Structure 1
């Protein structure tokens, strides 16, 4: 059995996952949460592994959740050219994202969440390794920033599985054809 690879990520209307300086303040600023959104909890129940780049990891541990690592229950793979010391659930690796995900996909386990960033996502999209794309569109236009998809050899055809709106954000789920 092959594990599902999920990209679950938010972007601005113009396709940026971070502002030009790397800030992600636009993700929460000024958005009123009126309706209950359980999409994150549903994702967390499906996965047992997260994969992210070093910049994303640093942002998680230094800005988003400095007091408690939010993925303590999951196996974390941090792709970096500057590895730290590994722990039981935290693996720093310089392995190519495609090779790493191909290896993980063959192992026993639940789904794998590709957390980000763009330099990790692009090669996985190009290799058609992402099975499910869950994109949350934040109702803001940044004008510039770090794009969701870096340049890669495409196209990659997707099928729209679901679209809904909650709290003025558009959630779109695509599957790899």
Structure 2
């Protein structure tokens, strides 16, 4: 059995996941949340593992969720050249993203969420290891920043599985062919 690998991420209309300094303030973008959005809760019910780079991890624990790590129910793998102390569910590894995901896909478990960032996503896209792409398009054009998809040897062919709009954001789910 091979576990599903999901990229669930938000980007600007012009394809940036962060501003040039790495901040993600644009995600709020003055959007008025008038409709209930359960996509994050639905994702969390499907996964038991998260994978992210060290920069994303540091942003989560130092800026976004200072008081409580939001993925303490899941096993977390942080890909880094600066290892830290592992815990029961928090694993710091210098293993490359492709090798790590290939290893995790073969283990027992539920779906795996690739949280970010771009340096983790790019090799996984190129190796075609992401099964489901859930992209939320934020109605903002940044003009510059950190790209969701860097240049790579493609193509990776996808098919549209679902598209809907909530709170002026476009949610598109793609599956690999």
TM-score over 0.5 for the pair = yes
CA distance in 1, matches of 2:150, 2:126: 10
CA drift of 1:17 comes to 0.2
Structure 1 equivalent of residue 12 of structure 2:
12
**Aligned match of 1:133:** 133
Structure 1 length normalisation: TM-score? 0.99
CA distance in 2, matches of 1:130, 1:45: 18
RMSD of aligned residue pairs (Cα, Å): 0.4
Tell me which residue corresponds to 1:79: 79
Match of 2:152 in 1: 152
SS at match of 1:124: helix
Q: Distance in 1 between matches of 2:15 and 2:73?
A: 30
Partner residue in 1 for 2:40: 40
Following TM superposition, the consecutive aligned residue runs of length 4 or more in structure 1 with deviations greater than 3 angstroms are none
Q: Secondary structure at the match of 1:33?
A: coil
Between the aligned partners of 2:57 and 2:152, the Cα distance in structure 1 is 23
State the Cα deviation string for residues 73-124 of structure 1 (Å, max 9, x = none).
Answer: 0000000000101000000000010000000000000000000000000000
What TM-score results when the alignment is normalised by the length of structure 2? 0.99
Counterpart-to-counterpart distance in 1, 2:120 and 2:58: 15
Cα distance in 1 for residues equivalent to 2:134 and 2:146 = 18
Structure 2 unaligned spans of 5+: none
- Residue 62 of structure 1: CA displacement? 0.5
Structure 2 residue matching 1:108: 3-state secondary structure: coil
SS in 1 for 2:172: strand
Q: Is the Cα–Cα contact under 8 Å of residues 54 and 79 in structure 2 kept in the other structure?
A: yes
Map of 1:121 onto structure 2: 121
Question: 1:29: Cα distance to partner?
Answer: 3.2
